[in-house]
Amino acid sequence: MTLPGRQAAAAAITLAIAALWAPAAPAQAPLVVGNDSGGYLHQRLIELKQLRRSAVRVEIRGRICYSTCTLFLGLPGTCVAPGTVFGFHGPSRRGVRLKDKDFEYFSRLMARHYPEPLRAWFLHTGRNRISGVYKIKGSELIRMGIAACRGG
């Protein structure tokens, strides 16, 4: 059923006014990353894709963020706490360095998830450690241009 011109205009104005008074959709709460020692690359890439799609902001506030946890740094709006320690290492299979071709491929895949200049550092230095991790404090990442979390 269509309304005559004046009724349609009145209905449209009423809907517009109601929309102004409707409560705004609540902002989506950020994902707060606590202590995360990493995990499997494939699983983390799936998680990153979902977070990117849903536009959830990530706040890294834990004591540590090692291995694949560091890939959160490439998501838009991610912030870090200055005291969090980040641990970087190159791709491996259960602590064993990959064959050169695979090592290069997975290193570059990981690096795509880091903002510059962290990406360049990872490709030059960070990926070369397989046993253990290079530790970098959040305060250093903030100096590299990654956002600091408010209140932390």
Q: What is the per-residue pLDDT across 94-112, written as a single tens digit (0 to 9) for each?
A: 889 999 999 999 999 999 9
pLDDT tens per residue, range 28-85: 899 999 899 999 999 999 999 999 999 999 999 999 999 999 999 999 999 999 999 9
Contact 87, 134 (CB under 8 A): yes
∠ CA 49-98-131, nearest 5°, is 90
pLDDT tens per residue, range 4-37: 555 544 444 444 444 445 444 446 899 999 899 9
Q: Which residues of 53-82 are buried (b: 16+ CB within 10 A; e: fewer)?
A: eeeebbbbbbebbbbbbbbbbbbeebbbbe
Q: How far apart are CA 130 and CA 32, in angstroms?
A: 27
pLDDT bin (cut points 50, 70, 90) of residue 152 is: low
Q: How far apart are CA 42 and CA 18, in angstroms?
A: 46
At residue 88, the 3 state secondary structure works out as strand
Alpha helices in the chain (DSSP H): 5-21, 41-54, 100-111, 118-124, 138-143
At residue 3, the 3 state secondary structure works out as coil
pLDDT recorded at residue 18: 46
pLDDT recorded at residue 119: 97
